[in-house]
Chains A and B, each alone.
Chain A
Amino acid sequence: MLIELSHIQRLYRSDEVQTTALQDIDLQIETGEFVAIMGPSGCGKSTLLNILGTIDRPTGGSYRFGTQELTAMNEAELAKFRREHLGYVFQSFNLIDELTIEENIELALIYREMPKSERRERVAHAMDHVGIAHRARHYPSQLSGGQQQRAAIARAIVGQPSLILADEPTGNLDTDNGAQVMDILQRLNDEGATIIMVTHSPSHADLARRRIDMLDGQVVVSVRNAI
């Protein structure tokens, strides 16, 4: 078992209102799975993904990753955890404008101790993987949305993470580019990566091996696709 969430809860408290973004989520995910999360806007998909990605903390419950209990870790430990285990893809790419594509991808390795030559090699490999090697020296603003998202995926995979999290990776893309991105994700999954993806597109969700539907902060159905 790679991931085990039990009784995960996320409340937002402001002065008077209290919003329950997630209530009592139990979820297990095996190594090598490709999970799609679906549900109406505001049901808590992103919140769940952020908690899985440790960039948000649950207000209750436990989150085990392999043998580690993540809710007990402090910020520095979590940063180290992300560095070693996670790759993240966002709907709005989140590439850094001042850095070239190559440098953006390399950023995922900067915080590890790794010789420059190895970093270079890995970056080149990741760019090949998503087909943007010819854009290595360009800045993000010089690329199309699809290319930017592929660069973002390269950045997510360059560290060879055990888990890739993608929040609506195709949300800002047209059909063709969306399909390309899904292709890459599928291939990565075929090569053994565990992927959790939030999507609004049923057809993209169908490409995953398992589909989780959420409503009002709860998991309502979890079905395995027959692939």
Chain B
Amino acid sequence: MLSHIALVFWRGIVQRRLFTTLNVLGMALGMATFLTLALIVRYEFSFDRWIPHAADIYRLDAFDDSEASVSSIRLVDALRAEHPDWNATAVLRGFSGATIRVNENAWDVFIARTDPHLFDVFALPLLEGDPATALVPDGVVLSQAEALRFFGTDHGILGKTLDLTQKGQTHRLHVTGVLKELPANTTPRFDIIVPSSGAALHINDLWPMATSEIWVRVSPSVASQFPALLQGLVQRHAAGLSEQEAKKYVVRGRALTSLHFFDATIGMRGTDKRLPVILGIVGLLALGAGLVNFVTLSTALAATRAREVAMRKVLGATVLMLGLSFTAEAIGLALIAAFVALALTELTLPWITTLSGWPIRLDFGFAVPLLIITSVIGGACAGAYPSWVLSRFRPATVLSSARLPGSGRLGSRLREGLTIVQFSFAVTLTICTLVIWRQTHLLQTMDRGFHQSGLLVSHLPNDPTERLRQQRLSDLVRDLPGVTGATVSDDAPGGGSAGITFDTTRPGNATPAILAVIGTQSSTLPVWGAHLLAGRLFDSSHDYDSRPMPAAPFDSFLTGQALAFGTHNVVINESAVRALGFANDASAIGTPITLHGKDVQTIIGVIADMRFKDSRASVTPALYYAISGPIGYGVLSVRYRNAPENTTRAAIATIWKQVYPESALNLRSVGDIIDEDVRPEQQRGMLMIVASFVTLSISCVGLYGIAVFNVRRRLFEIGVRKVLGATAQQVTRLLILQFLRPVMIANIAAWPVAWWVMRNWLSGFDRRISLSPLYFALTALIVLALAVLTTLFQIRRGARSAPAIALGSS
């Protein structure tokens, strides 16, 4: 019996080559797309799970108003006091640069300072060194990649030394460990671990200074009691906070394995969970299209096999036997498709990874079972309909008539229904692709409120004792040929410190607005090319336009003691105009506003919103003030024109070496930073384009198969029509219209789905294209044209055939 099924299966493949090819091709394309996207989805959901004891690791976030991935270092002290038995560690990531020097080479790097308990929480595998002794003062643990970068090798470097310069101070560190390279799906990155303690770690020793990641590794029973255990923690250790301020604090435990998606919800990197979900859905749609193809063609084929089936019934086959053999054949075919899909994926994956940026590999342990399950399900579906039809029909009529029976109205209805389903997938994906493509284009080309090209930025060493060097640097750079401006500010395109938020009130408006307060120089806004909308920009000849930096302003502000911000003339952005509730830009000019209920500032200008970094997010309402003299946490912005970037960069580097011989330069072009920011969107867009192209192809393959099948079956009808006087053209038109009907219905059916999905997706962007009906119409046009192209040849051939042949062949 089995060998007979195999025989029939093989004969079917050989003798119905066209159907087999179409069937396998469609299914394989669907499976390959599904597999590729499943690999991506799996990757996204695999974050941090490889870390030993990942399920027991939590990040504790203490915050007052908005949640962040960092908390005050005080949290770890509070934890140690209350729960000495917990494994807890603090990681302070440098947000300004540090320089590492080995012999003559220097690198601008970001380091992670941590206490000696890091490995109690993260049992990270060490290539060299002993985790128990690696985290000692003056030690440094490097990742494999960093070891290679600094020493050219990742082994035999224990005890070697490097010099770390940060905030004007240089320390000699010796290598105490080399970390095995962390896989890409790791949220907490550890590249350069500098064991620290005391002042080095407690640099911002205040509750409102959220700069450290606090991690614990605890048993599930402790984790389940987090809400109770962490309740009131800050209030019990609230030194330096007023009772009222302490009350606002909340501490939350966030599971390590949830952080990859969670962090995106609080705007701290990570991945928006909707992304893998959307990709998963796209994968399922592609698979669905392949499956629908498979079922459609299989049922069409089953109709041509009516005589065979009837004969088998006469010969005593039961419905069960027939159903099983049909299903087995379908599963066999699906397995062939799976094999093809595996090969296709293997071949295209390198291309897909470059295109999409996802570092995925073909894991056979995952792919093979997945494809087998898919094949079995697909085969069972494709076998089910024929089996069901078989159980119903009576062989007598089929066998005693010479003509093939119609597959019944039900059969053709079913096929039409499936075609509609399939094309609605394809249409949905095509619409989404067009929209995503346009939105990505908008992100790339939109006006960001400043002049992007010809702008270079570099953060400056945060060295409070040597701020005067800033002045020297910018003066020297400004004199370079081709350079039209050089300026230093808190924030800059590509991100500096985002400034500190102040609640700000204006007269007549009781509820304060939260504004980011950003320190600049009077030359900064012109250098950026900010668009002035009302009033004027800073002019150092005006009093109050540009004033010296107040001594230690922010620290004193944060402790809530004294505010020495002083009085300035300020420029605000459009978002601030709205947040403060001004009727229009002009009406803001000249208005005094109050920062934190104390210092009164006068608005002299309004500029357009500037999008420095995150292309998705909305712009924060901001207030710019100008400082005469150096700025802490500064970023240098250089504008050049009519000079090649290379020579400008080289010239800046030379000056830098004179001014900051101990620090490495990290000069970046703003265009590159923006490209980098937009790239993920672009890559996802490309992936969508590929997926929808594949799905559309699958649907066309299916439509072609149906066309071949229907035209063949209807040759008789075509013959009769022609005998009765219809022209080939009339017949063609009739048939094309019949083929296009399901495609047109599919278009209409897909519209609301595509509209809903895209509206949702677009809502994640602050600046977005409008969801114009054009995308829908264009898609309909593309899809209908493709459908006509795929079927026309078959139809024309059928319509042109001589009626005698058609009637004879009956």
Contacts and interface: CB of A to CB of B under 8 A. Distances in A.
Interface of A: 46, 50, 53, 55-56, 75-76, 79-84, 86, 88, 90-92, 94, 96-99, 103, 106-108, 110-112, 116, 155, 167
Interface of B: 1, 3-4, 7-8, 11-12, 15, 307-308, 310-321, 391, 394-396, 399-402
B399 A79 contact: no
A159 to B, nearest CB: 8
Contacts of B15: 97-98
Given A56-B394, A90-B400, A98-B15, A79 B316 contact: yes
Q: When A and B form their complex, which 7 residue pairs have the shortest distance between CB atoms, in order from nearest?
A: A83-B316, A50-B396, A98-B11, A82-B316, A79-B318, A56-B396, A55-B396
Contacts of B320: 76
Contacts of A96: 307-308, 311
Contacts of A50: 396, 400
Nearest to A95: B311
Nearest to B16: A98
Given A99-B8, A107-B312, A94 B399 contact: yes
Contacts of B7: 99, 103
6 contacts: A46-B396, A56-B394, A79-B313, A79-B319, A84-B316, A88-B314
Contacts of A55: 313-314, 394-396, 399
Contacts of B400: 46, 50, 90-92, 167
B321 A111 contact: yes
A211 B237 CA distance: 112
A94 B321 contact: no
Contacts of A79: 313, 316-319
B584 to A, nearest CB: 75
A88 B317 CA distance: 14
Contacts of A88: 314-315
Nearest to A158: B315
Contact of A75 (B314, B319, B402): B319
A75 B318 contact: yes
A133 to B, nearest CB: 20
Nearest to A84: B316
Nearest to B3: A116
Contacts of A106: 4
B315 A94 contact: no
B11 A99 contact: yes
Contacts of B314: 53, 55, 82, 86, 88
B8 A98 contact: yes
A49 B503 CA distance: 96
B315 A111 contact: yes
A110 B313 CA distance: 12
B165 to A, nearest CB: 80
A55 B399 CA distance: 10
Contact of A90 (B4, B319, B399): B399
A79 B390 CA distance: 13
B319 A107 contact: no
Contact of A80 (B307, B313, B316): B316
B396 A111 contact: no
A107 B317 CA distance: 10
A160 B320 CA distance: 24
Given A88-B315, A94-B311, A98-B8, 12 more contacts: A55-B314, A56-B396, A79-B319, A81-B316, A83-B317, A84-B316, A90-B399, A91-B400, A92-B399, A96-B307, A107-B4, A108-B316
B315 A107 contact: yes
- Which has the most chain A C-beta neighbours within 10 Å: B317, B318, B320? B318
Nearest to B310: A94
Contact of A98 (B3, B12, B317, B396): B12
Given A55-B396, A99-B8, A82 B315 contact: yes
B330 to A, nearest CB: 16
B399 A110 contact: no
Contacts of B391: 75
A155 B318 CA distance: 18
Nearest to B315: A108
A110 B7 CA distance: 12
Contacts of A91: 400
Contacts of B317: 79, 83, 110-111
A80 B318 contact: yes
B394 A83 contact: no
A110 B4 contact: yes
A94 B307 contact: yes
- Which has the most chain A C-beta neighbours within 10 Å: B3, B315, B402? B315
Nearest to B14: A98
Contacts of A46: 396, 400
A176 B3 CA distance: 38
A227 B1 CA distance: 44
Nearest to B316: A83
A113 B595 CA distance: 94
B463 to A, nearest CB: 84
Nearest to A57: B394
A86 B318 CA distance: 15
B810 to A, nearest CB: 12
Contacts of B307: 94, 96
Contacts of B8: 98-99
A143 B274 CA distance: 63
A97 B313 CA distance: 16
Contacts of B315: 82-83, 88, 107-108, 110-111, 155
Nearest to A54: B314
A155 B316 CA distance: 12
Contacts of A98: 8, 11-12, 15, 308
Contacts of B1: 110-111
B647 to A, nearest CB: 75
A90 B311 CA distance: 10
Contacts of B12: 98
Nearest to A96: B308
B11 A76 contact: no
A55 B316 CA distance: 10
A1 B319 CA distance: 31
Nearest to B319: A75
Nearest to A76: B318
A88 B395 CA distance: 12
A50 B314 CA distance: 10
B562 to A, nearest CB: 94
Contacts of B3: 116
Nearest to A104: B311
A57 to B, nearest CB: 8
A111 B5 CA distance: 11
- Which has the most chain A C-beta neighbours within 10 Å: B321, B396, B402? B396
A50 to B, nearest CB: 4
A153 to B, nearest CB: 14
B137 to A, nearest CB: 81
A99 B311 CA distance: 13
A56 B399 CA distance: 12
A86 B311 CA distance: 13
Nearest to A88: B314
Given A75-B319, A107-B312, A92 B402 contact: yes
Contacts of B318: 75-76, 79-80, 111
A111 B316 contact: yes
A112 B4 CA distance: 12
Contacts of B313: 55, 79, 82
B310 to A, nearest CB: 7
Nearest to A77: B318
A187 B308 CA distance: 28
A106 B394 CA distance: 23
Contacts of A76: 318-320
Nearest to A198: B400
Contacts of A99: 7-8, 11
A146 B567 CA distance: 112
B308 to A, nearest CB: 5
B48 to A, nearest CB: 55
A41 B318 CA distance: 32
A56 B15 CA distance: 32
A54 to B, nearest CB: 9
